[in-house]
Amino acid sequence: MISQRHQHYVKAEAQFKASLARFPGVYQPIVDDFEADPARLADVAHAKRFLERYTGDDAFRKKLLSDPRGVAAAYGLKSDPEEIRLLWDCDPATRQPADLKAIPDTVLRYRFWVAEKLVHRDKIRELDCIPSDNSFRIWRERQHNRVFHQLGENGARGIVHTSWAVELSKGCSGGCWFCGLGAGRKEADFLHTPENQRLWLDVLEVMKELVGPTAAGQGVLYWATDPLDNPDFELFADEFADAFGRFPQTTSVLPMRDVERTRRLLVHSRRRGCQINRFSVISLKLLEEIFAAFTAEELLFTELITQNIESSTGIGNAGRARGSKLYEKKHDILGTPQEGRGMPGTISCLSGFLFNMLDRTVKLVTPCPADDEWPEGYWTLAEERFDTANDLKTILRRMVKESMPTALRLTDPIAFRSDLAYASTAKGFQLTNKVLRSSFDKEHELLPDIAALVARGCLCAGDVAVEMEKSKGVPLQLTLMLLNKLFQEGVLEESPRLFSKKIRFDPDTP
Residue range(s) defining the domain that contains residue 16: 4-117
* Dihedral sign, Cα of residue 217, residue 218, residue 219, residue 224: positive
CA-to-CA dists, residue 428 to 126, 264, 439, 447, 448, angstroms: 29, 58, 8, 8, 5
DSSP string of 280-321, one letter each residue: EE-SHHHHHHHHHHS-TTTTTTEEEEE-STTSS----SSGGG
Arithmetic mean of pLDDT, 125-139: 96
User: What pLDDT shows up at residue 503?
Assistant: 45
On average, the pLDDT of the chain sits at 92
d(CA 482, CA 448): 10
225: nearest Cα among 176, 293, 152, 295? 176
* Orientation of helix 194-211 relative to helix 389-403, angle to 10°: 30
Is 247 in the same domain as 384? yes
Q: Are 333 and 316 in contact (CB under 8 A)?
A: no
Query: Per-residue pLDDT for 372 more than 50?
Result: yes
From 369, 403, 437, the end of a domain falls on 403
- Listed in sequence order, the residues at least 6 apart from 409 whose beta carbon sits closer than 8 Å to its beta carbon are 461
Is 239 in the same domain as 323? yes
Query: Per-residue pLDDT for 507 more than 60?
Result: no
d(CA 92, CA 86): 6
Q: DSSP secondary-structure letter at 7?
A: H
Q: pTM for the complete prediction?
A: 0.93
Outline where 23-162 has alpha helix (H). 42-56, 58-64, 68-74, 85-88, 90-94, 105-123, 134-156
Q: Would you say residue 509 lies in a domain?
A: no
Q: For the domain that residue 455 is a member of, what is the CATH number?
A: 3.90.930.60
pLDDT classification of 1: cutoffs 50, 70, 90: very low
DSSP string of 350-410, one letter each residue: EEEEEEETTTTEEEEEEE----SSSTTSEEEEEEEE-SSHHHHHHHHHHHHHHH--SS--T
From 117, 138, 159, the end of a domain falls on 117
From 371, 403, 435, the end of a domain falls on 403
Q: Would you say residue 346 lies in a domain?
A: yes
Is 179 in the same domain as 264? yes
One-letter amino acid identity for 197?
Answer: Q
Is 250 in the same domain as 360? yes
pLDDT classification of 301: cutoffs 50, 70, 90: very high
Q: 318-347, pLDDT tens digit by residue?
A: 999 998 898 888 888 888 887 777 778 899
Q: Would you say residue 123 lies in a domain?
A: no
Q: Are 488 and 417 in contact (CB under 8 A)?
A: no
Q: Would you say residue 264 lies in a domain?
A: yes
Is 224 in the same domain as 372? yes
Among residues of the chain, what percentage have pLDDT more than 90? Answer: 78
Q: Are 200 and 221 in contact (CB under 8 A)?
A: no
d(CA 412, CA 480): 11
Q: Would you say residue 175 lies in a domain?
A: yes
One-letter amino acid identity for 238?
Answer: D
Q: How many CA atoms lie within 13 A of 162 on its CB side?
A: 23
